[in-house]
Amino acid sequence: MSIYWNKRTKNLSPYVPGEQPRDRKFIKLNTNENPYPPSPKVIEAIQKAAGNELRLYPDPSCMAFREAAAARYGVKPEQVFAGNGSDEVLAFAFGAFFDAHTAILFPDITYSFYPVYANLWDIPYRTVALSDDFSINTDDYKVYSGGVIFPNPNAPTGKAVPLSDILLLAKYLATNEKVLIIDEAYAAFGADSAVPHIGEYPNLLTVHTLSKSASLAGLRLGFAIGSEELIEGLCRIRDSFNSYTVDRLALAGGAAALSDAAYYEDINRRVIATRERVSQALRSLGFSFLPSAANFIFMKAPSLSGADFFAALRERGILARYFNRERIADYLRVSIGTDQEMDVFLGVCGELVGSL
């Protein structure tokens, strides 16, 4: 605390991101990065952009990137918004579409940045409990609220929500003139995207990131797809904050990534295959886990607390993500790495079960 902080700063409980180790080499399975490199076309585009033109501001409308996204997803560039990572897009969306007078809804177990954004913008919220099997029951969200947000698949559980349920919820929220935000950060690994239905639901915003499925967490680029009126709302917030949140290198690399679907389909198919192989191996070792539609597995060791499991992995050079929270304190979220990395991880899991 400082006497110079205003009330808002004093009242914040900032998000704590997963560890990015600097001094020791770990097998890093804690922040859901893609284990495969970005497309060579992305590197080429960034290298080309890293020249004299860096003295110029980037295009504030991010048009080349929006056009690439529009071509990839079959929408208009006016239905795409680009931001500095999907975290920024989410922060802007909270500011643009949710109000200080009606509580918004999101799951009790979900991306832990949502309550942080709500507090930052003074938006009241109510969490809705996941069912006993950790699924999101969309009927629970069909009550009057200021709007709804959840990821599909949900994080950190990895469980997907049926698209038909999402569309029915969007329809319900439209009758109250409220926005439904679906955070599709991990959708490429197994959930049905709501993007093809954007035209039918002017209150539906999907949020996407290039950090996971496009192997570009270091570039900081995310985007949203929605009706032109929602996109214009996001632009109004951005242009009241910083006109140039996406730099020239990110715009060039991001457009190249979205134009190389074949490369990414291939590497993400490999991530999914590894996830399925690891799931089977964990089952035979006696670990329990939720069926994952994402690039991570939410899992529990037999007779070890989440904290002890986390510490045992860390000691052996493997980083996972542990959330010390009610209902999930026995679980770890483990990102899918390369086959080699996951073999080391499975070896440690086997060792731990053997010593119990």
By beta-carbon proximity to ligand PMP, the closer residue of 58 and 151 is 151
**Tally of CA atoms within 13 A in the half-sphere of 74 that contains its CB:** 7
By beta-carbon proximity to ligand PMP, the closer residue of 87 and 260 is 87
Stretch that binds ligand PMP, among 48-56, 81-89, 133-141, 282-290 (CB under 6 A): 81-89
Q: Which of 138, 211, 245, 335 touches ligand PMP (CB under 6 A)?
A: 211
| By CB under 6 A, residue 183 contacts ligand PMP | yes
By beta-carbon proximity to ligand PMP, the closer residue of 190 and 352 is 190
By beta-carbon proximity to ligand PMP, the closer residue of 66 and 304 is 66
| By CB under 6 A, residue 151 contacts ligand PMP | yes
The CB-of-36 to ligand PMP minimum distance in angstroms stands at 17
Dihedral sign of CA atoms 315, 321, 326, 330 in order = negative
| By CB under 6 A, residue 185 contacts ligand PMP | yes
DSSP 244-285: --S-HHHHHHHHHHHT-HHHHHHHHHHHHHHHHHHHHHHHHH
Which phi and psi (to 5°) does residue 17 adopt?
Answer: -75, 165
Rg of the chain over all Cα atoms, to the nearest angstrom: 20
- In sequence order, what are the residues at sequence separation of 6 or more whose Cβ sits closer than 8 angstroms to the Cβ of residue 77? 63, 66, 67, 69, 70
| By CB under 6 A, residue 111 contacts ligand PMP | yes
| Binding to ligand PMP in span 216-235, by CB under 6 A | 217, 222
By beta-carbon proximity to ligand PMP, the closer residue of 323 and 344 is 323
The whole-angstrom separation of Cα 96 and Cα 136 is 25
Of 294, 292, 279, give the one whose Cα is nearest residue 349. Answer: 279
Q: Which of 34, 39, 79, 86 touches ligand PMP (CB under 6 A)?
A: 86
User: Any idea of the CA torsion for 289, 292, 298, 304, to the nearest 10 degrees?
Assistant: 20
Stretch that binds ligand PMP, among 49-57, 84-92, 298-306, 316-324 (CB under 6 A): 84-92
Give the interface with ligand PMP as residue ranges (CB under 6 A): 85-87, 111, 151, 155, 183, 185, 209, 211, 217, 222
